[in-house]
Amino acid sequence: MGKINLKSVYFWLIVLVFVLFPFVIDSRPMTILLTQIFIFAILAMSYDILLGYTGIVSFGHAMFFGFGAYATSVMLKNIDSSLTVFFLSIIVGMVIAGIVSFLIGLLTLRLQSHFFAMFTLAVSGLFLVLAEKWRSLTQGNDGFTFRAPEIFSDRINFYLFVLFCLVLVFLLLRLFVNSPFGKVLIAVKENETRTKALGYKTIYYKVVSSVVAGVAASLAGSLYVVSLRFVNTSMMAIDVTLNALLMTIIGGVGTLVGPIVGAAIIELAKHNLSILAKTYPIFERWIIFFGIIYILAVIFFPKGVVGTLKEKWEGRKMVRQQAMKQKEDAA
């Protein structure tokens, strides 16, 4: 038990560092960058629930991000830019994401994985077209700006709120994947037929997993548009899904810390590459570099940064235990 406590001590220490961060280092760009990282960490974690825990490949995750994004921006613009409306819009986005992911899941999760992947791609494409065409509401690709709630005009307040959301989502998802339910999700990923033979109705597990992932992604979308105070259809584009995929894979599939680390790596890389681009124009094509990173990661770090470190750590622990045993045997 002592070890678990130590772990949570580290966890809260890290949280504390980030809470204090903007008060110690008074840098607006850093605060904004960290806010972005936290938001994408939520998105990447939600994607990992599908990819890393349930073994479902979805190419439509951007649409859930988009539901949150549009729910929040439309409501803040058309109703009122108060905090109440903001919270309400988060819930609206989550409900829409929940219903859509539930329906899609129920319809298609019976199919084999690649059909599900194709179907999610098609549905998210459909919603993207809807967002393009429903100009009276979304103003299409041009998008629109809106006012964020008054209290968030101080970047530090928003930073703290997003951090709070990240910690909350992290704790909830950690509980979710470590619950008996979450253990079955991992079993589904490992061997679905066997899970069925044990008497689990795997389809329900997959549907719930996709609903949880969709709802969390919607929260990320709501937060993201408030950080930009702007929304357009790019929030729903396939790039968002690919970003989440990249962050999850680089950070470490099948862990919750992995996607957070992945989000940090990708966002920091983007930030620094765009600075470099001012002197070396080649870096404007940063997507090329991401492509290379992605290929290298899949070849050399298939388990991602966190996954690889974890494996090394556990391997060393094993060796140590074996050495201890040998010593005991010798004695």
Partner 1 sequence: MEPVIKTDNLTIRFGGQIAVDHVSCEIPEKHFKSIIGPNGAGKTTFFNLLSGELKPTEGEVYLKGERITHLSSIERARKGLGRSFQITNVFPNLTVLENVRLAIQSREKIYFQMLRYFTSYKHLIEEAEHILEQVLLIDKKDAIASQLTHGEKRKLEIAMLLALDSEILLLDEPTAGMSLEEVPIILDVIRNIKEKGEKTILLIEHKMDLILDLSDSIMVLFNGQLLADGTPEEIMRNELVESAYLGGMYNDDLAGNQ
Binding site for partner 1 (CB under 8 A): 175-176, 178-184, 186-187, 190-191, 193-201, 204, 208
Rounded to a whole number of angstroms, the minimum distance from the CB of residue 25 to partner 1 is: 36
Provide the token pair at 104. 């899609």
Cβ closest to partner 1, residue 112 vs residue 279: 112
Rounded to a whole number of angstroms, the minimum distance from the CB of residue 186 to partner 1 is: 7
Rounded to a whole number of angstroms, the minimum distance from the CB of residue 51 to partner 1 is: 15
- Report the alpha-carbon distance of residue 312 to residue 101 in Å, rounded: 37
Neighbouring CB atoms inside 10 A of 248's CB total: 27
Cβ closest to partner 1, residue 291 vs residue 315: 315
* Helical (H) or strand (E) element with 170: helix 155-178
Cβ closest to partner 1, residue 20 vs residue 172: 172
Pairing of strands 144-145, 230-231: antiparallel
Cβ closest to partner 1, residue 99 vs residue 318: 318
- Report the alpha-carbon distance of residue 71 to residue 219 in Å, rounded: 10
Rounded to a whole number of angstroms, the minimum distance from the CB of residue 144 to partner 1 is: 38
- Locus of tokens 């819930």: 91
- Report the alpha-carbon distance of residue 229 to residue 76 in Å, rounded: 10
Provide the token pair at 51. 């990819």
Cβ closest to partner 1, residue 136 vs residue 193: 193
Nearest to 76 by CA among 89, 91, 94, 63: 89
What are the φ and ψ backbone dihedral angles of 231, each rounded to 5 degrees? -140, 140
Q: Is residue 243 packed enough to be buried (19+ CB in 10 Å), middle (13-18) or exposed (0-12)? A: buried
Rounded to a whole number of angstroms, the minimum distance from the CB of residue 197 to partner 1 is: 6
Nearest to 101 by CA among 69, 140, 129, 66: 66
Cβ closest to partner 1, residue 105 vs residue 182: 182
Rounded to a whole number of angstroms, the minimum distance from the CB of residue 114 to partner 1 is: 21
The answer for residues whose C-beta is within 8 angstroms of residue 208's C-beta and 6 or more apart is 181
Rounded to a whole number of angstroms, the minimum distance from the CB of residue 192 to partner 1 is: 10
Cβ closest to partner 1, residue 34 vs residue 184: 184
